[in-house]
């Protein structure tokens, strides 16, 4: 990386940009109240005022500008009135729409003036529909506000003698970009501005697809060299890290700036292009948390590309994360997506599949707690003198109940108006309907959390309590109640059962049973209340902690000791991984275990997590083998894979000497973060995760 | 003729995705027991032929499991699809797999079209070596010290049987690589490397040579299996990974 960018990255890491920040956001509430504005009007006003409040900041050597200076998103309602907005319904997380992906390609190609014309045309057509008129007026106001902000940046650039920057900003984002630089600059404004009105987890979508035309034009015309293009791209990536501490998330780094590479075009052709490789290359160089890279693969993906991706994995950032087209696309088809849209999938913030511009899906409405479902089935089953099949039936019923409860919570979810986000979607302004009213796809996603522990518990009960009768049912019930205190022998027996992640058919059958029951429960809900379906998933984000320790963000109670020999308070498995403490046979067995799920039904996403020792990445030959491993992941029919590199000694040292490891990045769940900024319990979990040495 | 299915052996580890143990994606079976006592051995838990318990701060761990040939082969065959598709197979390492040659043979007889690699110190009687050689697709042959006295001093054994088996290997058609652990001041001396190069050169067919720089983590596991680690060399000195001496003899050598 060139010196200029190294200095820029250093400045971002030290958060020097924070010095430019204003002390408070503008007061928007007062005027909203004074003028008695509607919700839609308030959100527009918010966006307009936020844009106006932004003060242009252009560092001397910056080519891609926009640095946020407004430190927060101001309120548009009093606390009480805000709660009132959701009376009789439910807010999703913080309220504003999050965790989806805009149609960046469309907006770039049309320019904001193009989008403005569309809004005005629709307004003419729908002029007798006051709701549409209000929405479209708002959308136009938002477009104008962002163009004005870009204009003020251009003025500032001229003032300080940066005519190059000014020239770019006189063109974009108002008009379609003519060059790669203009495209990146336009995207920077469009993408970063979404956060200004309270949205978050704003995905970047299929970056290599929508950026390639601009890159290609410049390269073929000889206007740009590959090296210069890489430099621009690197600067754009660094810029994505500049405001991220202002973005809401569970932990620093959890901000959803994910992008997708490769896969198929909407027409079904191979979508890998020069941009795909350039992103992998540049991400290797930049080595920062954002953007989070995803790569679509299938059984025949070129090993050269996979090797390329493996060299990014070697950097230890925890990406790329892989998705397997061979199973993801059929899964989406089975859930009502058109073939073109299914081929166009990306990930939302972490791992859930979503169609850019067309999905107003709430991909994570919470989790079904498999450990809770299994645990109460075991306890009640023992009480009632059930057979093992009886316990399975109870488990199935519990899963169904939890699923229904979760979905019922969201049946009356209320999404605030989103006029600016609507401009960026495929057809909201075309139809004159705000994004909050829905888009082409309106499914919700739920995850099944703690699956490996729950399956291990079931198989241990089947084997040791029923088949071999080595632990009396009453003893097990008492042992669980006392967190195994005084029952160490029973604990040892139960803990010695087969485990998920070892390609053991008995354990894996229980895993499959859990997800089949979960899929059945979701399929039993034909309408989620938003005109969509319910997609079951395999991710578990922070639930591996929450299910064990309790959290107010969850309805399910924390689960105590479990029948797999786990003590109360110990973490559960995260996404698809063997339960903590399992001596796994290795990565092949892990893949084989999780290949047994039916991903046509369980299609929301959620990765198999494999940790490889960084020693694996010693030479090119070993990189080639990591590439082969990813190919096997695809060929076995697994869905999603997160491959992490870990050096346990380094992590331990970082706990003791954080100052020496300021830049150490680790994968946490669907995102990566600076290790030293994580809360201790997350640090512990990262350290204890399964590691497959060479 | 297939070796008996109920033949048993003692295995101390089975490692999937063993990226340094041969071509493609491989699973390596570590057989317990070794006649040598290399001072730098990084698998000390593989030396004793019997199962044992390792003690460490993380708790006790039993190493060494008695398996039947049929059971081990079945387990490996369950991954056959992956191993074949990814240009890999199964590697037998140790310890010294030749010490349990009958067992290894019985396992190999039951493998389903899998490429087999033997990773050996070469210390075994000739007939055993010949029999196993006939069953494997590739050999990693570890060569440590050419000087018989030094060999005895650092490994506890004379090297004549090893050199004889290397000769036998050179006369076979089996794919083979000679692997030299580079222990600073012990095996990486100019004299030893030259002697190895000269020996490789003298055979009917030249071997490829892989040089393996000494791994400082080697001492880590000694305490856990009740052995003393007393390196008679300077651990902090980088190994002399000199490939030029091999080039002089027309031997292809690389550092891995
Ligand atoms: S031959 Fe290998 S296993 Fe045996 S003692 Fe030497 S290094 Fe250890």
Does A596 touch chain B if contact means CB atoms closer than 8 Å? no
Tens of pLDDT, residues A353-368 = 999 999 999 999 989 9
Residue with tokens 């479902």: A373
Mean pLDDT over all residues of chain A? 93
Chain A residue with the nearest C-alpha to that of B16: A586
Q: Which of B160, B171, B104, B162 is nearest to B136 (CA)?
A: B104
Indicate if ligand 1 lies below 6 Å from the C-beta of B107: no
Distance from CA of B46 to the nearest CA of A (A): 17
Confidence at A668, pLDDT banded by 50, 70, 90: low
Which sign, positive or negative, has the C-alpha torsion A284, A636, A324, A506? Answer: negative
Q: Do A636 and B82 touch (CB under 8 A)?
A: yes
Residues of B in contact with A619 (CB under 8 A): 256
Predicted pLDDT at A626: 95
- Averaged over B105-116, what is the pLDDT? 97
Does B153 touch chain A if contact means CB atoms closer than 8 Å? no
Given a contact cutoff of 8 angstroms between Cβ atoms, the answer to whether B256 and A619 are in contact is: yes
Strand B59-63 relative to strand B52-56, pairing: antiparallel
Q: Do B25 and A588 touch (CB under 8 A)?
A: yes
Q: Do B20 and A694 touch (CB under 8 A)?
A: yes
Distance from CA of A92 to the nearest CA of B (A): 43
Predicted pLDDT at A253: 67
CA–CA distance from A213 to each of A114, A176, A178 (Å)? 18, 12, 10
Confidence at A231, pLDDT banded by 50, 70, 90: very high
Indicate if ligand 1 lies below 6 Å from the C-beta of B95: yes
Q: Which of A444, A441, A445 is nearest to A359 (CA)?
A: A441
Q: Which of B211, B201, B197 is nearest to B245 (CA)?
A: B197
Backbone angles phi, psi at A442, to 5 degrees: -130, 40
Backbone angles phi, psi at A674, to 5 degrees: -75, 125
Ligand 1 center from residue A590 Cα (angstroms): 30
Q: Which of A102-111, A449-458, A465-474, A555-564 has the lowest mean pLDDT?
A: A555-564
Given a contact cutoff of 8 angstroms between Cβ atoms, the answer to whether A27 and A46 are in contact is: no
Chain B residue with the nearest C-alpha to that of A618: B256
CA pair distance B48, A44, nearest whole angstrom: 76
CA–CA distance from A583 to each of A130, A439, A517, A630 (Å)? 63, 46, 27, 22
Given a contact cutoff of 8 angstroms between Cβ atoms, the answer to whether A507 and A455 are in contact is: yes
User: Which secondary-structure segment (H or E) carries A507?
Assistant: helix A505-523
Predicted pLDDT at A694: 34
Give yes or no for residue B76 having a pLDDT over 70. yes
Q: What is the residue range of B45's domain?
A: 4-255
Indicate if ligand 1 lies below 6 Å from the C-beta of B37: yes
Chain A residue with the nearest C-alpha to that of B82: A632
Residues of A in contact with B27 (CB under 8 A): 586, 588
Interface of B with A in 38-77 (CB under 8 A): none
Ligand 1 center from residue B38 Cα (angstroms): 5
Helices assigned H by DSSP within A55-176: 79-85, 104-125, 130-159, 163-171
Chain A residue with the nearest C-alpha to that of B79: A588
CA pair distance B51, B12, nearest whole angstrom: 8
Cis ω for the linkage preceding A607 (within 30 of 0): no
Give yes or no for residue A372 having a pLDDT over 50. yes
Given a contact cutoff of 8 angstroms between Cβ atoms, the answer to whether B177 and B190 are in contact is: no
Indicate if ligand 1 lies below 6 Å from the C-beta of B121: yes
Both structure tokens of A242: 């500049």
Confidence at B221, pLDDT banded by 50, 70, 90: low
Report helix, strand and coil shares of chain B as percent, to nearest 5: 35, 25, 40
Does A636 touch chain B if contact means CB atoms closer than 8 Å? yes
Q: Do A694 and B19 touch (CB under 8 A)?
A: yes
Angle, CA of A209, A213 and A214, to the nearest 5°: 115
Distance from CA of A618 to the nearest CA of B (A): 9
CA pair distance A369, A544, nearest whole angstrom: 10
Does A622 touch chain B if contact means CB atoms closer than 8 Å? yes
Cis ω for the linkage preceding A389 (within 30 of 0): no
Give yes or no for residue A581 having a pLDDT over 50. yes
Q: Do B19 and A616 touch (CB under 8 A)?
A: yes
Q: Do B16 and A631 touch (CB under 8 A)?
A: no
Given a contact cutoff of 8 angstroms between Cβ atoms, the answer to whether B113 and B44 are in contact is: no
Would you list the domain boundaries of chain A? Answer: 1-98+111-171, 203-351+619-694, 367-415+425-606
Task: Considering only residues A586 and A185, tell me which one the structure prediction assigns the higher pLDDT.
Answer: A185
Residue with tokens 């006939």: B134
Predicted pLDDT at A557: 77
Q: Do B85 and A632 touch (CB under 8 A)?
A: yes
CA pair distance A37, A42, nearest whole angstrom: 6
Q: Do A589 and B17 touch (CB under 8 A)?
A: no
Contacts of A182 (CB under 8 A, 6+ apart): A168, A171, A172, A214
Does B15 touch chain A if contact means CB atoms closer than 8 Å? yes
Quote the crossing angle between the two packed helices A488-495 and A473-481, to the nearest 10°.
110
Q: Which of A507, A505, A533 is nearest to A519 (CA)?
A: A533
Predicted pLDDT at A578: 92
Does B256 touch chain A if contact means CB atoms closer than 8 Å? yes
CB atoms within 10 A of CB A269: 9
Contacts of A362 (CB under 8 A, 6+ apart): A92, A99, A410, A413, A444, A445, A530
Indicate if ligand 1 lies below 6 Å from the C-beta of B94: yes
Does A303 touch chain B if contact means CB atoms closer than 8 Å? no
Predicted pLDDT at A84: 96
Q: Do B86 and A585 touch (CB under 8 A)?
A: no
Strand B115-120 relative to strand B175-182, pairing: unpaired
CA pair distance A449, A538, nearest whole angstrom: 7
3-state secondary structure B163-204: HHHHHHHHHCCCEEEEEEEECCCCCCCHHHHHHHHHHHHHCC
Indicate if ligand 1 lies below 6 Å from the C-beta of B96: yes
Predicted pLDDT at A670: 54
Query: Ligand 1: which residue has its CA nearest to atom 8?
Result: B41
CA pair distance B154, B161, nearest whole angstrom: 16
Helices assigned H by DSSP within A339-482: 339-343, 370-384, 388-411, 419-423, 428-431, 451-460, 473-481
Give yes or no for residue B97 having a pLDDT over 90. yes
Q: Which of A133-137, A508-512, A663-667 has the lowest mean pLDDT?
A: A663-667
CA pair distance A585, A502, nearest whole angstrom: 6
Q: Which of A259, A194, A307 is nearest to A617 (CA)?
A: A307
Does A369 touch chain B if contact means CB atoms closer than 8 Å? no
CB atoms within 10 A of CB A330: 14
CA pair distance A267, A326, nearest whole angstrom: 16
Per DSSP, the three-state class of A367 is strand
Task: Considering only residues A319 and A595, tell me which one the structure prediction assigns the higher pLDDT.
Answer: A595
Indicate if ligand 1 lies below 6 Å from the C-beta of B34: yes
Q: Do A619 and B256 touch (CB under 8 A)?
A: yes
Confidence at A341, pLDDT banded by 50, 70, 90: very high
Predicted pLDDT at B217: 53
Ligand 1 center from residue A165 Cα (angstroms): 65
Number of compact structural domains in chain B: 1
Give yes or no for residue A22 having a pLDDT over 60. yes
Does A121 touch chain B if contact means CB atoms closer than 8 Å? no
Q: Which of B12, B14, B17 to mutate to test the interface with A (most CBs of A within 10 A)?
A: B17
- Tell me the CA end-to-end span of chain A in Å, nearest whole number: 31
Q: Across the interface, which of A631, A636, A694 has its CB nearest the CB of B18?
A: A694
Distance from CA of A648 to the nearest CA of B (A): 14
Does A585 touch chain B if contact means CB atoms closer than 8 Å? yes
In order, the DSSP letters of A309-330 are HHHHHTTTS--PEEEEHHHHHH
Q: Which of A212-216, A512-516, A624-628, A673-677 has the lowest mean pLDDT?
A: A673-677
Cβ contacts below 8 Å, chain A against chain B, sum to 60
Tens of pLDDT, residues A394-418 = 999 999 999 999 999 899 999 999 9
Residue B50 buriedness (CB in 10 A; 0-12 / 13-18 / 19+): exposed
CATH number of the domain bearing residue B48: 3.20.20.70
Among B30, B48, B95, B151, say which to mutate for ligand 1: greatest number of ligand atoms within 8 Å of CB: B95
Residues of B in contact with A622 (CB under 8 A): 19-20
Backbone angles phi, psi at A369, to 5 degrees: -90, 100
Mean pLDDT over all residues of chain B? 91
Predicted pLDDT at B10: 97
State CA B173 to chain mean position distance. Answer: 19
- Averaged over A560-581, what is the pLDDT? 92
Q: Which of B12, B67, B82, B215 to mutate to test the interface with A (most CBs of A within 10 A)?
A: B82
Confidence at A671, pLDDT banded by 50, 70, 90: low
Predicted pLDDT at A693: 43
Q: Do A632 and B78 touch (CB under 8 A)?
A: no
Indicate if ligand 1 lies below 6 Å from the C-beta of B62: no
């Amino acid at each position: 990386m060139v010196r200029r960018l190294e200095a820029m990255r250093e400045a971002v890491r030290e958060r020097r940009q924070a010095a430019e920040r204003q002390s408070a956001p503008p007061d928007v509430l007062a005027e909203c109240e004074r003028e008695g504005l509607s919700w839609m009007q308030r959100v527009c006003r918010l966006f307009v005022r936020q844009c106006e409040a932004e003060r242009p900041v252009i560092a001397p050597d910056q080519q891609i500008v926009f640095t946020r200076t407004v430190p927060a998103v101001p309120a548009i309602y009093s606390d009480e009135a805000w709660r009132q907005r959701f009376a009789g319904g439910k807010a999703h997380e913080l309220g504003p729409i999050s965790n989806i992906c805009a149609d960046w390609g469309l907006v770039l190609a049309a320019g904001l003036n193009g989008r403005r014309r569309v809004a005005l045309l629709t307004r003419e057509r729908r002029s007798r529909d006051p709701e549409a008129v209000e929405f479209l007026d708002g959308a136009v106001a938002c477009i104008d506000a962002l163009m004005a902000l870009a204009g003020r940046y251009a003025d500032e650039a001229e003032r300080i003698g940066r005519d190059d920057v000014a020239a770019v900003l006189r063109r974009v984002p108002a008009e379609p970009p003519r060059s790669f630089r203009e495209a990146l600059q336009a995207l920077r404004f469009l993408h970063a501005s979404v956060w200004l009105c309270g949205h978050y987890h704003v995905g970047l979508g299929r970056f290599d697809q929508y950026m390639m035309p601009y890159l290609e034009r410049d390269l073929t015309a000889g206007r740009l060299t590959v090296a210069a293009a890489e430099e621009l791209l690197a600067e754009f990536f660094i810029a994505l890290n500049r405001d991220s501490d202002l973005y809401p998330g569970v932990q620093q780094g959890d901000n959803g700036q994910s992008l997708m590479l490769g896969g198929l075009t909407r027409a079904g052709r191979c979508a890998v292009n020069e941009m795909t490789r350039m992103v992998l290359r540049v991400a290797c160089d930049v080595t920062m948390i954002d953007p989070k890279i995803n790569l679509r693969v299938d059984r025949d993906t070129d090993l050269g590309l996979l090797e390329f991706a493996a060299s990014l994995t070697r950097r230890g950032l925890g990406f790329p994360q892989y998705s397997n087209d061979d199973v993801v696309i059929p899964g989406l088809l089975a859930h009502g997506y058109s073939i073109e849209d299914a081929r166009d999938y990306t990930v939302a913030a972490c791992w859930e599949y979503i169609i850019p511009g067309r999905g107003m899906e709430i991909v994570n409405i919470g989790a079904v707690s498999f450990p809770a479902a299994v645990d109460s089935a075991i306890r009640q089953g023992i009480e009632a003198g059930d057979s093992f099949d009886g316990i399975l039936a109870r488990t199935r019923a519990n899963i169904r109940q939890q699923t229904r409860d979760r979905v019922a919570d969201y049946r009356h979810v209320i999404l605030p108006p989103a006029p600016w986000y609507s401009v960026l979607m495929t057809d909201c302004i075309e139809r004159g309907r705000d994004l909050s009213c829905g888009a082409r796809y309106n499914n919700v996603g739920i995850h099944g959390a703690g699956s490996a522990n729950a399956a291990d518990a079931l198989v241990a009960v089947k084997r040791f309590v029923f088949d071999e009768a080595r632990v009396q049912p009453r003893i097990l019930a008492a042992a669980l109640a006392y967190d195994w205190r005084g029952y160490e022998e029973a604990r040892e027996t139960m803990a010695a059962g087969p485990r998920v992640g070892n390609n053991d058919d008995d354990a894996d059958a229980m895993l499959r049973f859990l997800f089949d029951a979960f899929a059945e429960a979701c399929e039993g809900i034909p309408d989620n209340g938003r005109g969509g379906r319910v997609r079951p998933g395999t991710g578990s984000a922070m639930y591996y902690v929450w299910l064990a320790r309790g959290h107010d963000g969850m309805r399910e109670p924390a689960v105590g000791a479990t029948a797999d020999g786990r003590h109360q308070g110990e973490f559960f498995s995260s996404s698809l991984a063997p339960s903590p403490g399992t001596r796994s046979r290795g990565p092949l067995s892990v893949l084989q275990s999780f290949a047994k799920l039916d991903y046509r039904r369980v299609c929301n996403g959620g990765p198999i997590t494999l940790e490889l020792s960084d020693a694996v990445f010693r030479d090119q030959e070993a990189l080639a083998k990591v590439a082969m491993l990813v190919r096997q992941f695809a060929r076995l029919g697994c869905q999603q894979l997160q491959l992490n590199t870990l050096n346990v000694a380094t992590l331990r040292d970082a706990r003791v000497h954080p100052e020496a490891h300021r830049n150490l990045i680790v994968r946490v769940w669907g995102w990566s973060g600076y290790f030293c900024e994580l809360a201790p319990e997350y640090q512990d979990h990262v350290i204890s995760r399964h590691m497959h040495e060479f | 003729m297939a070796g008996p299915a109920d033949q048993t052996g003692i295995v101390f580890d089975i490692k999937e995705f063993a990226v340094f143990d041969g071509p493609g994606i491989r699973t390596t079976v570590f057989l317990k027991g070794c006649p040598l006592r290399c001072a730098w051995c990084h698998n000390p838990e593989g030396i004793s032929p019997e199962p044992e318990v390792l003690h460490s701060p993380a708790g006790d761990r039993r190493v060494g499991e008695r398996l039947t040939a049929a059971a081990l082969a079945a387990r490996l065959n369950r991954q056959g699809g992956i191993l074949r598709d990814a240009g890999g197979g199964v590697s037998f390492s140790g310890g010294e797999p030749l010490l349990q040659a009958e067992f290894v043979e019985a396992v190999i007889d039951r493998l389903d079209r899998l490429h087999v690699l033997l990773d050996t110190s070469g210390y075994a009687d000739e007939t055993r070596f010949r029999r196993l050689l006939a069953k494997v697709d590739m050999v990693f042959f570890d060569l440590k010290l050419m000087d018989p006295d030094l060999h005895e001093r650092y490994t506890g054994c004379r090297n004549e049987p090893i050199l004889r088996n290397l000769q036998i290997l050179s006369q076979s058609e089996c794919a083979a690589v000679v692997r030299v652990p580079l222990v600073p001041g012990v095996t990486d001396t100019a004299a030893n490397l030259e002697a190895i190069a000269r020996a490789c050169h003298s055979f009917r067919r030249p071997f490829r040579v892989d040089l393996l720089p000494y791994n400082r983590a080697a001492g880590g596991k000694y305490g856990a299996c009740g052995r003393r680690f007393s390196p008679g060399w300077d651990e902090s000195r980088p190994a002399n990974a000199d490939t030029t001496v091999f080039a002089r003899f027309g031997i292809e050598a690389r550092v891995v």
